[in-house]
Every structure is written in C-alpha cells, then in structure tokens.
Amino acid sequence: MKSLIIAFSMYSRIPMPVFEWKDKDYKRSICFLPMVGFVIACAQWGWLYLCRAYISMAGPVAAAIGLWAIPLMITGGIHADGYIDTQDAINSFKGRDERLEILKDPHVGAFGIIRYILATLLYIGAAVIVISMGSYKLEILLCASQVTSRILSGLAAVSIVNARGSGMLYDLTGEGKNAAAIAYFAIIYLIWSGAAIYLDLPGGVIYTALGAMSYIYYRHWAMKLFGGITGDLEGYYLTETELFFGLAAALIAIIT
C-alpha cells in the first residue's frame, strides 16, 4: 500500500497521505505505475460518457481535446516535460554527451514545443476519428493505452541500462536489468494484451504487436542515441506510445 501511495505521489497530482518514504517502498513503487494509468483511463472513459449523455453539443472535437487534457491534468505534465526535453535533445543533432546535457537543461527549446504541439494535434485528430465512428471497443482501447504505455515504460525502466547513473529514475531502478521486475511487467503486459484481444480481436492483436515493436525500437533507439535511458526519455516514450496507439486506433476505425 505504501508503494502504491508513493507511485501516485510521484506520477500524479492526486492528493495522497504524507509519510516517511522507506527505500524498499520507494523502489517497489514503479510496479504500480500502470495503476496511475488505470485511473487516467477511467477518467477518460467517464469523460466520453459525459460527452455522449450530457454534453451532446460538445461534439467529437471537444471530447477528443478532453482525452488529451485529462492525463495532463492528473499527472501535472511530468511526462510531457520529458517529451519536450527529449525532442530538444534529439533535434540538436549533437553528440551523446551534449544530448544528455540538454536533457538536464531546465530551459525549453523551440523544437520541443513544436513537436509537442504536433503530437497534440495528431492525437486529437486521431481521437476525433475514433469517437466519430462510435465504436465503444475502439474507445476503450484508446483509453486503455494509458495503462499499456505505462506497462511498457515500466518494463523499459527495469530492463534498459541507465544512461546517466544518477537522477530520480536511477534511484528508483538502479542500473536496470532487474529480472524479477522484468518478469512482473512482462506478465502484466501479456494479461493486458489478452484482455484487449478478447475485447476486439483485430484491434487487440494490432495493439499488442505495436506495443512489442515500440519497446524493441525504443530500446535500440535509446541505446544508440543516449547510451541508455533517463527519466526524460521515459516520459518521451510514454507520451510517444500514447500517440502511436491513438493513431493506430484511428487507422483501425477507418479500415474496419
């Protein structure tokens, strides 16, 4: 329970009880990262329900904007911050050490803002397509991506070496490659994917495959450009995965 409270204290703005954090509880808290995503997914689904039942004049655009805004309100934008910092580092076209230094820079660059605006527009556009189709199964998969992205982000955090050897993520996971934690996240991903496939066979299969491919690519990409992962890169991956899942849901809605 303490680890669960710590997870929500770190990765959300939801008020939590205050107590002294012990090291073992702190390090276990990453295992509850998907629970934060589950709360966000429920809030998104509730928003869609309200839009259908009581805010019929809002239309799919307002509903889609709400889907993008809800995670930002609940998390306080912690992952968006990592996404913007990482985009600044990537688009600097500098060496590995310089990119890692840019990640630590508190200032925001133009490239990060531009890319985040683009991600926002793409997600909202994809969500409008899904909502307009009126398929509750695809809407559930769209909301469920909040959980899936955090399962994959947690898996990456415990399985990929830390690029910096310091920072909050390092304090949480150490050097990475924790066999027990890897197995934990892998099992959760298989169970969650099985539920998605049961809900919508073609959509669930595509989601499962995309998730696996995104993890493989992210691992290769992070090692090549940064020599491992950092907290900012984890925020980038989580945000990028949610965007990809949104685009995938839109594609499924169009072709099925």
CB 132 within 8 A of CB 60: yes
Segment 117-133 shows an average pLDDT of 93
Segment 209-227 shows an average pLDDT of 91
CB 172 within 8 A of CB 234: no
Question: Quick one: how far is CA 144 from the chain centroid?
Answer: 11
CB 35 within 8 A of CB 102: no
Question: Quick one: how far is CA 209 from the chain centroid?
Answer: 17
Q: Which two tokens mark 121? A: 């527009």
Map tokens 């934690």 to a residue.
181
Q: Which helix (H) or strand (E) is 234 found in, with range? A: helix 231-255
pLDDT > 70? residue 128 = yes
Q: Which two tokens mark 233? A: 């890169």
Least confidently predicted of 13-17, 72-76, 97-101, 132-136: 132-136
C-alpha distances in angstroms, 65 versus 23, 68, 71, 78, 146?
A: 39, 5, 11, 19, 15
Read off the pLDDT of residues 39-75 as tens digits, 9 standing for 90 and up.
999 999 999 988 887 766 568 899 999 999 999 999 9
pLDDT > 80? residue 172 = no
What number of CA atoms fall less than 13 Å from residue 85's CA on the CB side? Answer: 23
Check residue 228 and report its DSSP letter: S
Q: Which helix (H) or strand (E) is 213 found in, with range? A: helix 201-226
Q: What's the pLDDT score for residue 55?
A: 63
* Nearest CA among 248, 3, 2, 12 for reference residue 150: 12
CB 253 within 8 A of CB 138: yes
pLDDT band at 127 (very low <50, low <70, confident <90, very high): very high
Q: What's the pLDDT score for residue 218?
A: 93
- The structural domains of the chain, with segments of one domain joined by +, span 2-241
Q: What's the pLDDT score for residue 100?
A: 87
Rounded CA separation 231/81 (Å): 10
Is the pTM higher than 0.85? The answer reads: yes
The stretches of 77-200 forming alpha helices (DSSP H) are 78-90, 96-104, 110-133, 136-159, 168-173, 179-199
pLDDT > 80? residue 203 = no
The CB density around residue 206, as the number of other CB atoms within 10 Å, is 20
- The overall average pLDDT reported for the chain is 88
